[in-house]
Amino acid sequence: MNQFTEKVIQLIKSIPSGKVMTYGQIAKAAGSPRGARQVVRVLHSMSAKYNLPWHRVINAKGEIVIADEEAAYSQQAMLEAEGVYFLTNGRVDLKKSRYNLPFTEEDGF
């Protein structure tokens, strides 16, 4: 498994209940700012194997992007059960529910 994939798995596992991260946010934190599609690939192929909280990953607009209507409803229900707040337009309120990684010395802060 390559280093990016390992980091993506770690990041997804670190998202606490009641919070979400975006595909792009995870890609950037894993070292590939343009790797959002790779995050999607990791989620699709490794969620079950690594017991990833896949439902806590959404797009940058706060939208659930699963094409299957039933699966999208299930994702929203799981997020709401954890306390993630949705706006009236059906998007996650990223101001309230986005998980921002804590800064470390490695980040240069």
| pLDDT for the residue 108 | 40
| pLDDT for the residue 17 | 97
47-78 confidence digits (pLDDT tens): 999 999 999 999 999 999 998 999 999 999 99
Q: Which residues pair with 25 in a beta bridge?
A: none
| pLDDT for the residue 105 | 44
Distance from C-alpha of 88 to C-alpha of 8, rounded to nearest angstrom: 30
Nearest alpha-carbon partner for 84 in 55, 43, 52, 61: 55
Break the chain into its structural domains and give their ranges.
3-97
Give this prediction's pTM. 0.90
The band of 12, judged by pLDDT with boundaries at 50, 70 and 90, is very high
**Per CATH, which fold does 3-97 belong to?**
Arc Repressor Mutant, subunit A (1.10.10)
